[in-house]
């Protein structure tokens, strides 16, 4: 029998506070550490648990769905802020482009080109294969 989850409304509310005040400049590990810092010792979680929750690999229920929405919403907010800064900054716009490229894979040209080149299929057949 599995141990009951530590994800409860108190932990979720604490996580919302951490994310709202820190999402723009924190890694997942930073968010995890800030979350545990605000929780009582008995309510703290391990990093692997945080990663599992973030990956959505837990049994689905309202609290886990809300946890994922907090993270996704914060990432959208972060992306909007960075893109807005990129648009409105005349000087040194490259720094925002650099951050966006490294934070969000879909904006990383190197990764995108690598994925596209790996997904092309070579449809070359030998004469022996024609009968298949």
Tell which residue, 95, 10, 89, has the closest CA to residue 44. 10
Lowest mean pLDDT among 7-16, 19-28, 76-85: 19-28
Q: Give, in order, the Cα–Cα distances in Å from 47 to each of 19, 50, 59, 78.
A: 16, 5, 18, 22
For residue 58, what pLDDT is reported?
Answer: 74
Euclidean distance between CA atoms 76 and 45, whole angstroms:
25
For residue 103, what pLDDT is reported?
Answer: 77
Euclidean distance between CA atoms 73 and 47, whole angstroms:
21
Taking the whole predicted model, whether its pTM rises above 0.75 is answered as no
Euclidean distance between CA atoms 64 and 70, whole angstroms:
10
């Amino acid at each position: 029998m599995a141990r009951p989850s530590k994800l409860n409304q108190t932990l979720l509310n604490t996580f919302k506070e951490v994310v709202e005040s820190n999402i723009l400049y924190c890694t997942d590990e930073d968010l995890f550490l800030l979350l545990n810092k605000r929780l009582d010792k008995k309510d703290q979680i391990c990093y692997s648990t945080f990663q599992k929750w973030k990956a959505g690999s837990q049994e689905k229920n309202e609290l886990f769905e809300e946890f994922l929405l907090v993270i996704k919403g914060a990432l959208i907010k972060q992306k909007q802020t960075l893109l807005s800064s990129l648009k409105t900054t005349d000087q040194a716009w490259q720094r925002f482009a650099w951050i966006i490229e490294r934070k969000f894979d879909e904006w990383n040209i190197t990764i995108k080109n690598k994925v596209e080149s790996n997904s092309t299929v070579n449809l070359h057949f030998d004469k022996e294969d024609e009968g298949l």
